[in-house]
Amino acid sequence: MTPDRPRATDEAVRARIAAARLWAAHQAPYLASAVFALNPVMLEPALDEDTGAPVPDPGFRAFPADTRWNLYVEPGTTLATPVEEIGWWMLHQVGHLVRGHAARSPVRPEPGPEPGPKVSPEVSPEVSHAAGPVRDEEAHRWNQAADAEINDDLEAADLRGPAGVVSPAELGLPVNRTAEEYVPMLDVLAQAMGRGGRALAEAIDCGSAVDGQDRAYEDSGSGEGLTELDRDLLERSIAAGIQDRISARSEVPSGWRRWAEERLRPSVNWRARLGAMIRRGLSTVAGQVDFSYRRPSRRAGAYADIVPPSMARAVPDTVLLIDTSGSVTDDVLKRLLAEVTGIIDGVAGPHRRLRAFCCDVRPHPVQVVRRASDIELTGGGGTDMRAGLDAAMALRPRPDLVVVLTDGETPWPGRRPGAQVVVCLIGDGGHAPDWASVARVPPDVPAKGDS
């Protein structure tokens, strides 16, 4: 192999990526700045042993991205893929990135003092490359569901995907749903199609941008790409750009309009966001969507020998921690509690006993209730959620998920306690710690149906 060949390959790949970017920006002008914010990272080519020419690696057909907006470009794949198709994947990856699929993913291992369950060794890929076929089934399903969320918006703008990608319309599913909503639909569909010997779609890996799990080909130490802050600013400017285009009566597909609206006014969609976070917290804890691929959870472990895996689902233990310091009215708290317990019932089964307690500067006694309306709100004065969370962690059995309802006018612990924490942050002031999942809720919670 001469040194000239890789250089020639390099240039040909760069030219193709540049052309694909222009195509993508032209097709979807409302996403042009996003397309140009992608940072292409060229991977080592896989070379044909005889000819020395780069050969495509199907594991990279999606031009996978990571959450720092790096787009991984495999030379053989790039040279073998039409420019329009590369451009389509760029728009698709932007979709994963701005919709926060990595952060929303149920697959992502949680950092913190008690690390979440790890992928077991036999499925943990030795990974030469993207490792599509050996990825665990849950990760694969989440990837497909996230693809479904994005692809219908692209199709609405006449940007049809290449063969083998997930399309809700083609699968006969409703459009304009979230990935969280598509997961159960795809499960049912995949089972039905599997009985007929067919697969739902090709095994496509869109990279860690879709599930937050590092891939072997990513150099996570290099720090290349966008920081969290860059990314936040970029997303805001993309959303603002979309709203400008809407004001100027330029064409923007409805899915992207909704996205921009929600990105700029996050409380608009608080109900869906809160629901997604609580469901994610519960399923991460329970392992209920992935029991056959991970070690049994702490709780299920005791029974693992005598109960078949599908029965070994843990029931996640949830505690509600309610800020009754007086700045939030009881009426608002009651409505929110009804919403939160409704979501928990939906995931964990109805009328499960829940533990709840109120907290102002100190925690009040624990109440065990079956319905939100049974919770008695006591307290007043200042707030210290450090005391509240300490008390939650001291409960036996210890909770797996703590849902905190507060206006955020409180000190917080410096690090995450040994449980998942979802903060329902009421009103525009206050703050929540960055180790928690946060949904901002309007100060005057409207009754369900008229938000």
Distance CA 240, CA 227 (A): 20
When the beta carbons of 65 and 340 are compared against Zn ion, the nearer one is 65
Coil vs helix vs strand at 78 = helix
When the beta carbons of 147 and 180 are compared against Zn ion, the nearer one is 147
When the beta carbons of 206 and 438 are compared against Zn ion, the nearer one is 206
β-pair partners for 355: 319, 368
In the bound complex, what is the minimum distance in angstroms from residue 202's beta carbon to Zn ion? 11
Angle 130-131-135 from CA coordinates, rounded to 5°: 120
Is residue 211 a contact point for Zn ion (CB under 5 A)?
Answer: no
Of the ranges 199-207, 258-266, 308-316, 329-337, which one interacts with Zn ion (CB under 5 A)?
A: 199-207
- The count of chain residues that interact with Zn ion, using the rule CB under 5 A, is 2
Distance CA 223, CA 235 (A): 19
218's tokens: 């990513």
Distance CA 331, CA 295 (A): 43
What string marks each residue from 340 to 379 as x (binds Zn ion by CB under 5 A) or -? ----------------------------------------
Q: At what angle do helices 83-98 and 4-27 cross, to 10 degrees?
A: 70
In the bound complex, what is the minimum distance in angstroms from residue 89's beta carbon to Zn ion? 8
In the bound complex, what is the minimum distance in angstroms from residue 143's beta carbon to Zn ion? 6
When the beta carbons of 98 and 322 are compared against Zn ion, the nearer one is 98
Peptide bond into 397 cis (omega under 30): yes
Angle 73-81-42 from CA coordinates, rounded to 5°: 15
Q: Using alpha carbons, select from 112, 41, 86, 33 the residue that is nearest to residue 284.
A: 112
Of the ranges 104-112, 198-206, 266-274, 391-399, which one interacts with Zn ion (CB under 5 A)?
A: 198-206
Q: Encode burial over 196-234: b for 16+ CB neighbours within 10 A, e otherwise.
A: eeeebbebbbbbbbbbbbebebbeeeeeebbeeeebeeb
When the beta carbons of 146 and 421 are compared against Zn ion, the nearer one is 146
In the bound complex, what is the minimum distance in angstroms from residue 231's beta carbon to Zn ion? 18
In the bound complex, what is the minimum distance in angstroms from residue 206's beta carbon to Zn ion? 3
Nearest residue to Zn ion, using CB? Answer: 206
- Contacting Zn ion within 115-154 (CB under 5 A): 147
15's tokens: 């030219």
When the beta carbons of 164 and 381 are compared against Zn ion, the nearer one is 164
When the beta carbons of 91 and 300 are compared against Zn ion, the nearer one is 91
In the bound complex, what is the minimum distance in angstroms from residue 131's beta carbon to Zn ion? 16
DSSP structural state of residue 426: E
Handedness of CA 111, 117, 120, 124 (dihedral sign): negative
In the bound complex, what is the minimum distance in angstroms from residue 40's beta carbon to Zn ion? 17
Is residue 206 a contact point for Zn ion (CB under 5 A)?
Answer: yes
Which residues in this chain contact Zn ion in the complex, by CB under 5 A?
147, 206
